[in-house]
Structure formats: C-alpha cells, structure tokens
Amino acid sequence: MSRIAVVPGSFDPVTLGHIDVIARAADLYDTLHVVVVHNPNKSALIPVEQRVMLIEKAIHAAGLPNNIVVASWSEGLLVDYCTQVGAKVVIKGIRNQADVTYETPMALVNRNLAGIETLFMLPEPGHAYVSSSLVRQVAALGGDVRPYVPHVVAEHLDAHAG
Ligand code: PNS
C-alpha cells in the first residue's frame, strides 16, 4: 500500500522551517502533498499560485526528492483534499506550545470529520523561531529576510518590495 501524507499551510511565504519539515516528511512517505490552503481569515501577501511556484522552486533548489507534489486547495475542507488524494495523514511542524494549542483543535476536527490523523513534527531547533508572519513583517519594513526563507523567496520579496 502506498503511504501518502499531506503538509498543509498558508505558506505566505514558505520559510526554511517549512522546507525542513517538508524534507523530513518526504523521507517518511511514498508521496508527500504540500498543499497551499487559501485561508479567508488571513489577508495574504503573496497570491496562492505564486506561493505554489515558490515552494516548487525552493524544493528543487534544496535537492529534495521527487516524491513531492505541490498543489493549492480552495474548495473547502482540508480533509476533502486528503480523501481525494488518498492521504490518511496530515503532518504539521510544531515550534512551541503556542503551535500545539493552535493545531490541536484542527487536528481533532480533521479526525472527527474524516478519520484523518495529524502527526506533529519538530523542525530543526535553529528554525524554531521563524514564522511566515515574522518574515512578512521584516520584509514590509525593509529588513533582510535571507536567514529565514529559501533564496527564491527572498528574491521574490525583494522584487515585489515597495
Ligand atoms: O499555515 P496555517 O495558516 O497555520 O495553516 C492552517 C490551515 C490552512 C492548514 C488550516 O486553516 C486549514 O486546514 N484550513 C482548511 C479549512 C478546513 O479544513 N478547516 C477545518 C479544519 S481546521
């Protein structure tokens, strides 16, 4: 049986912490879907299709294996995407207690809705303080985001600064 997992998120933008989790998850599953989910509660910096493209380029640049599919999902529940692609597992990176508090209700709802289990994964501690919102704030104020994001993302943010 093929083992398929999903790493969902806003990825606005994808960070080095995300890439670290994606790399570790891709090692554990036959196919890993990285899914950019449109979150109507968050105002976005980067359009969804560009977020997908940046993740694809970052994955390629990092030399990650070719069992990773990058997609977007705006049709509704994440569990519907999981069911559609045959995934029974969602993987989320956990940096701290606040992430556990934020992720736990979503994980339980996803399990109640469709029996999708969520596995929490620890990223490399060096990335533990990095978040997309921090990157957006540093970029908006003209700071250097290169320590926190893949090269292609830093270039994209530079090109769209202003
Ligand atoms: O990176 P984020 O913003 O923390 O990711 C949250 C995300 C997009 C994974 C979550 O909001 C989500 O799964 N949204 C899809 C809608 C859904 O399925 N909601 C019900 C269960 S949370």
For 45-88, the pLDDT digits (tens) are 999 999 999 999 999 999 999 999 999 999 899 999 999 999 99
Q: Which atom of ligand 1 is nearest to the CA of 103?
A: 4
> pLDDT tens digit string along 84-116?
999 999 999 999 999 999 999 999 999 999 999
Give bridge partners of residue 8 from the DSSP assignment.
Answer: 35
- Tell me the whole-structure pTM to 2 decimals: 0.96
CA distance 123 to 106: 20
Q: Helix, strand or coil for residue 14?
A: coil
Q: Could you tell me where the DSSP H helices lie in the chain?
A: 16-28, 48-61, 78-85, 97-114, 132-140, 151-159
Element (H, E) at 5: strand 4-9
Tell me which of 10, 18, 51, 127 is the catalytic residue.
Answer: 18
